[in-house]
Chains A and B, each alone.
Chain A
């Protein structure tokens, strides 16, 4: 082995070792790297993009319930919510190879959910709800008919039942702002980004939603 060859070999070994230690070789879990459950959502999604299906399982476990609750309360129908929920995840699976960390994963998946929801509304007979137009008059208009079932009252959850009923009667855009805030703990800026509006509009929707709900539950 000549001096030149040995120098090249040494360089190659050094490069491979450093890349392995830093975990730069994609799709590989290293024993000295943190466990999967210690990784952030974005890191998990990158792992899944690179072929680690266990990362997807963990990601799914993290988002399964809050995402489903958001969809269920937003469209008010469990069957439709399941359909939308499945579509959202299937779209994510299809888009995994193109995934880049441009925003937080939470924003990314809720943005997909919002888009799917708008598609769903568009296919309905009434089209996209008028509340998404951000008309001031539309924001204020609200008729709430308290239709709490006797079972809910008996169960001692009167206040909660009132709130859920009021939530269903809220305009869709306001309801979505409230659900995004409550289900996921997103900030106003993130809610604005997901729903495709500016933060002032998002804040206004959220303000109306909380005002109306407080009035109903008398908090």
Chain B
């Protein structure tokens, strides 16, 4: 029993590495294998690696990835800086809605047609306001005729060819597109048409706050509201307002002028060139101060 206990304690000491037996064994000289065996094993190890990876130069081995990473970073930074520089050097672009893409050919054709009609009507209005009252009456009669609806229009194929094909003058006379000039019975169809065009243009260009109609857009301008692309020049707009004033449509002229002032904030109206507008402008300012 005592022997067993003694053995146990000695074995525990041995397991903990405190036995004289371990110290004695450590005194044995540890010889290695022959140099030939060493060489054979190391050669096999190298051959196994080379067979798969191919020869590796000492430089590329340790610095290959860091160098490659540095090169990638330098190149990418250069590309980004260059692209930024190029963007800065370009001319300032118009509003994003206009930049994105050109409107579809159908819309362009519609727009062009609307403008043609508007200029023609403006000419007629000038005649009606200034020249022979008989002609003016004739024109007004024409304007009060029912407006041709979209369904009544001749079926046309979409595209640039539509824009190129001129319509008969009679048909154009039957289609006064401008809201302000249209008869009440026909304005519904015209609004529908304009709404359809707006919808198309919004779909094509993306919905943007810039393309939403301003109060002035619905009246005299009557364009297809293509945002920054179709904004009128100041002189054209002022001429239109003058025409409205000449026709005695002061309310519409006032709305147009307000819209004009919102669009051309810093534009100074020439009092000599546009005396009526200048008077109206003064009145608007007075009203605003009064409000």
Q: Which residues of A contact B (CB under 8 A)?
A: 1, 6, 9, 13, 16-17, 20, 25, 27-31, 48, 51-53, 56-57, 60, 64-66, 68-69, 72, 78, 81-82, 85-86, 89-90, 93-94, 96, 157, 159-160, 163-164, 182, 185, 188, 206-207, 210-211, 213-214, 217, 219
Q: Does B164 contact A (CB under 8 A)?
A: no
CB interface residues, B 11-66, toward A, < 8 Å:
11, 14-15, 17, 19-22, 24-28, 30-34, 37-38, 40-42, 44-46, 48-50, 52-53, 56, 61-66
CB of A31 within 8 A of CB of B62, answer yes
B65 proximity list for chain A (CB < 8 A): 20, 25, 28, 30
CB of B83 within 8 A of CB of A217, answer no
CB of A31 within 8 A of CB of B46, answer no
**The one of B25, B38, B40, B73 that contacts A182, using a Cβ cutoff of 8 Å:** B25
CB of B21 within 8 A of CB of A217, answer yes
Report the bound CA distance from A68 to B38 in whole Å.
Answer: 11
Report the bound CA distance from A16 to B62 in whole Å.
Answer: 17
Report the bound CA distance from A94 to B47 in whole Å.
Answer: 11
Kindly provide the distance from the CB of A182 to the nearest chain B CB, expressed in whole angstroms.
Answer: 5
CB of B38 within 8 A of CB of A93, answer no
CB of B11 within 8 A of CB of A53, answer no
CB of B25 within 8 A of CB of A29, answer no
Kindly provide the distance from the CB of B172 to the nearest chain A CB, expressed in whole angstroms.
Answer: 44
CB of A60 within 8 A of CB of B11, answer no
B37 proximity list for chain A (CB < 8 A): 82, 85-86
Kindly provide the distance from the CB of A113 to the nearest chain B CB, expressed in whole angstroms.
Answer: 13
**The one of A30, A69, A211 that contacts B30, using a Cβ cutoff of 8 Å:** A69
Q: Does B10 contact A (CB under 8 A)?
A: yes
Knowing A29-B62, A217-B21, say if A82 contacts B33 (CB, 8 Å): yes
* B52 to A, closest residue via Cβ: A51
Q: Does B72 contact A (CB under 8 A)?
A: yes
Q: What is the size, in residues, of chain B's interface with A at 8 Å between Cβ atoms?
A: 47
A81 proximity list for chain B (CB < 8 A): 33
Report the bound CA distance from A94 to B44 in whole Å.
Answer: 9
Q: Which residues of B contact A (CB under 8 A)?
A: 7, 10-11, 14-15, 17, 19-22, 24-28, 30-34, 37-38, 40-42, 44-46, 48-50, 52-53, 56, 61-66, 69, 72-73, 76, 79-80, 83
CB of B40 within 8 A of CB of A86, answer yes
Given contacts A1-B80, A86-B37, A213-B21, 10 further A-B contacts (CB under 8 A): A9-B76, A16-B72, A31-B63, A31-B66, A53-B50, A60-B42, A85-B33, A85-B37, A86-B40, A89-B41
Kindly provide the distance from the CB of A79 to the nearest chain B CB, expressed in whole angstroms.
Answer: 10
CB-defined A-B contacts under 8 Å, sample of 28:
A16-B69, A16-B72, A17-B69, A27-B53, A28-B64, A28-B65, A29-B61, A30-B65, A48-B45, A51-B53, A51-B56, A53-B49, A53-B50, A64-B33, A66-B30, A68-B30, A69-B30, A72-B31, A86-B37, A86-B40, A157-B27, A160-B24, A163-B24, A164-B28, A210-B14, A210-B21, A217-B24, A219-B24
CB of B22 within 8 A of CB of A182, answer yes
Report the bound CA distance from A34 to B237 in whole Å.
Answer: 76
* A1 to B, closest residue via Cβ: B83
Kindly provide the distance from the CB of B87 to the nearest chain A CB, expressed in whole angstroms.
Answer: 10
* A72 to B, closest residue via Cβ: B31
Report the bound CA distance from A150 to B49 in whole Å.
Answer: 50
* A161 to B, closest residue via Cβ: B28
Kindly provide the distance from the CB of A142 to the nearest chain B CB, expressed in whole angstroms.
Answer: 16
Kindly provide the distance from the CB of B128 to the nearest chain A CB, expressed in whole angstroms.
Answer: 53
* B61 to A, closest residue via Cβ: A29
* B20 to A, closest residue via Cβ: A219
B80 proximity list for chain A (CB < 8 A): 1, 6
